[in-house]
Amino acid sequence: MPIKILKTMMKEEWRIHANIFGNFMFAFFPLLISIGTFVVALFVPYLKTLITIKQMLLLAHYLFLLIGVGIGAFGLFAREFMNRRFGQASLIAYSSRTLPVSERVIFSNFIIKDVIYYIFLWIAPIILGFVLATPFISINTLSAIFACGTLILSFLIGLSLVFSLSTLYAHSSKILAALLLLAAIGTLILMRYYTISITTLLPSYSMFYQPTLRKIIISLLLILLPSALSLIFLKVDYPEKKKQYENSLNTLTEKLKFSKYSYYVAKDFLDLSRSDGGLGKIIFSFLFPIVLTWVFLYIFFEKIPTINIIMIFAIFLGIVSSQIYNMLTEFDTFNSYTFLPVSVSTVLGSKITSYMLINIISLIILIITAIGTNQLVYFVPALCSFITISLYSLAMTIYFMGLHPTILLYNAKIFSQYMLMVAPILFGFTIISILDPFILLASPILLIPAIFILKNSHKKWEDWQPLSF
């Protein structure tokens, strides 16, 4: 039965995306990722002038760990996926209510299906593109293939870690907070008093240089044990009692009256706070990856004095902030507005306003980081970089993907257009931040085309018809 459910879910996932994009566009997406990775890999010889191959490999492992972290919050959103996304569409993931199949069986197959798709759509194409480039960059192909195997382990470790933490959050946010605090304190003690470096904290990375059975077992345990515990304690319940809230729409709207979209912005905040794991969405999809990345950058780049960590972090923060827009649009489809006298342009405007308000969190993080690292001298160019990249990437996201960024992203044509507009900017900002960060004081000039693109986005999507699943 479980295998049959998994196969059916795989077919169902393919048909949904193929129905939206067409078979060719969806199938071409992994190939596009491989081509992009191949091109980027050709620059490895030039990167050797800045960092060593060993440092690049360490960076790659933690990057794959972060990719796993970014998609690992399944436990937190289990009930919301079942109730809101799949419930309306009556897909297989909703069948536990009508068929003699448990939620745990359904959800475990859903997780396996998503992991397979993420590996197929992202991980495997990245690996393939890099391996194909090895003959051109003087890297041993067999060593590269082995490194790719350890990268997959890092990805699965990150996914399993956050899956378990998000499941714990679904049961008790206080226990999770205490556990994370103890883990942070323990890690700092180990690294400070027992000379344990960041390279030994991730067994999948150290296994590349010293492969042992012990490290393989540890890596597999870090993947399988948290995942098994998460499925055992999975919280997907359907309470009979309805949740009741006081009518706070008018009160919140009054506080947001500075915006002409005050009612819609208030709705966004109420949806986020009242949905399952509202705070958890921000923690696991936004704050948690940022904290992990900051710790890694701080330890990694302190060995490279020529790179200003605050500048690199600001650039990264601007990109990660785009996840806020994804959260705002992921569960609030335009279909619910179609019977009201509300235009697509109005909804887009409200999402932009909500995005900018929540993005204040990112600004606070950047300020704290600059103070904590004693790099206030670079704060202004870092701030300019963050604001510019954040708004520029938002403009491109809305222009190419409208109100469905997480879905339309898998259209190969749309993804390639988005990357062609964003990737060169990120690369240019990164290089400039290394050469002379103060040049980025002029970066807000990009806000002019960003605002122009946002205005055109409203016109582009005004006559758009909602996607059907």
For 350, the enclosing helix (H) or strand (E) is helix 344-358
Using the Cα atoms of residue 126, residue 131, residue 135 and residue 137 in order, give the sign of their dihedral.
Answer: positive
d(CA 148, CA 127): 6
pLDDT reported for residue 86: 46
* AA identity, residue 171: H
Residue 259: left if φ>0, alpha if ψ -120 to 50, beta else—which one?
Answer: beta
Phi, psi at 306, each rounded to 5°: -75, -10
Rounded to an integer, the average pLDDT of 111-132 is: 86
At a CB cut-off of 8 Å and minimum separation 6, what does 149 contact? Answer: none
What are 26-69's pLDDT values in tens digits?
778 888 889 989 988 898 888 777 677 887 888 888 888 877 87
What are 158-197's pLDDT values in tens digits?
888 888 887 787 777 778 778 877 877 776 676 666 656 6
d(CA 398, CA 349): 10
For 317, the enclosing helix (H) or strand (E) is helix 309-320
Answer yes or no: is pLDDT of 88 > 60.
no
d(CA 314, CA 311): 5
DSSP codes of every residue in 168-215: HHHH-HHHHHHHHHHHHHHHHHHHHHS---HHHH-HHHHHHHS--HHH
Answer yes or no: is pLDDT of 304 > 80.
no
pLDDT reported for residue 87: 47
pLDDT reported for residue 85: 47
Closest CA to 166 of 66, 236, 45, 73: 73
pTM: 0.75
Cα 151-157-158 angle, rounded to 5 deg: 95
Residue 464: left if φ>0, alpha if ψ -120 to 50, beta else—which one?
Answer: beta
d(CA 164, CA 168): 6
CA 117 to chain centre: 15
Q: Which residue has the higher pLDDT, 279 or 350?
A: 350
Answer yes or no: is pLDDT of 96 > 90.
no
- In the predicted model, what is the mean pLDDT of the chain? 79
- Give the other-Cβ count within 10 Å of 73's Cβ: 24
At a CB cut-off of 8 Å and minimum separation 6, what does 121 contact? Answer: 29, 30, 33, 410
- Per the listing, tokens 């393939």 go with 128
**Is the Cβ–Cβ distance between 304 and 50 less than 8 Å?**
yes
Q: What percent of the chain has pLDDT over 90?
A: 18
pLDDT reported for residue 452: 93
